Amino acid sequence: MERLGRMNVSRQPESDNDFSIVLEKARHGDRAAFDLLVRNYANMVTGLAFRMLGSQDEALDCAQDAFVRAWENISRYDPKWSIATWLRRIVTNLALDRLRRRRSHPDLQEAFEETLPSGGELPDAAAERREEAAVVRDVIEDLPDKYRVVIVLRDMEGVDIAEIARITGANSATVRWRLHRARTIFRDRWLALNSREP
């Protein structure tokens, strides 16, 4: 499997139905079929990892690890889940593991300090956007894991409540409660940080 390249999180994967035959081939050891799945879902997996981790390099590593884990466990894939849900669950668990390690090793925090690419903005607007993005990342990073996962999946990835429930192993009511709590904590911290500015 080749190393994942530069992130392009705007491209969404084709539908799972289009890839059910490809997945079956991969489940029977067809490496080319699995590579096709990787190419199709790489942006989704890497984008989710980036939104959870905040670092492009760390997201690429996490996505790579997720696909290795998927390949190693492809025989255990349950077809009742969508491919996207299965991959999101793997990358979410791996990203949470990385976040836990990061908390226990503060020197890894500098890997989190990257900024988003500016895309040709005026310097002042780009700087302002980077500052705001950094504050958003900081607020999200400070959320407890159970809240961070649901807010990233729902509000940043657009995943529906039922799929988040399958990814996290919680029921839909718990996911909705965690999302409400995450948004409340986020809003309160955001307002507190912005009220300090002159």
Q: Does one domain contain both 194 and 147?
A: yes
- Among residues 71, 92, 114, the one where a domain terminates is 114
pLDDT tens for residues 136-182? 888 888 899 899 999 999 988 889 999 999 999 999 999 999 999 99
Alpha-carbon span 120 to 12, nearest angstrom: 24
Torsion of CA 171, 177, 178, 183, to 10 degrees: 150
Q: Does one domain contain both 42 and 136?
A: no
Q: Which two tokens stand for residue 106?
A: 């503060």
Rounded to 5 degrees, φ, ψ at 4 are: -65, 140
Q: Flag the least confident range among 64-73, 102-111, 118-127, 171-180.
A: 102-111
pLDDT score for 150: 93
> How does residue 197 score in pLDDT terms, banded at 50, 70 and 90?
low
Q: Does one domain contain both 93 and 153?
A: no
Q: Does one domain contain both 89 and 153?
A: no
pLDDT above 80 for 15: no
Q: Does one domain contain both 129 and 88?
A: no
Alpha helices, DSSP H, located in the chain:
20-27, 31-53, 56-72, 83-104, 123-142, 145-151, 161-168, 172-196
Q: Does one domain contain both 31 and 92?
A: yes
Residue 105 belongs to what domain range? Answer: 1-114
Report the CATH number at residue 29: 1.10.1740.10
Q: Which two tokens stand for residue 21?
A: 């035959």
Q: Does one domain contain both 47 and 145?
A: no
Number of domains in the chain: 2
pLDDT score for 39: 93
- Name the amino acid, one letter, at 62: C
Asked whether the whole model's pTM tops 0.85, one would answer no
- Name the amino acid, one letter, at 111: A
Pick from 73, 47, 65: which is nearest to 1 by CA?
A: 65
Alpha-carbon span 187 to 193, nearest angstrom: 10
Q: Helix axis angle, 31-53 relative to 20-27, nearest 10°?
A: 110
> How does residue 115 score in pLDDT terms, banded at 50, 70 and 90?
very low
> How does residue 3 score in pLDDT terms, banded at 50, 70 and 90?
very low
pLDDT tens for residues 69-89? 999 998 888 888 889 999 999
Q: Which two tokens stand for residue 29?
A: 């050891």
Q: Does one domain contain both 110 and 56?
A: yes
Alpha-carbon span 39 to 76, nearest angstrom: 21
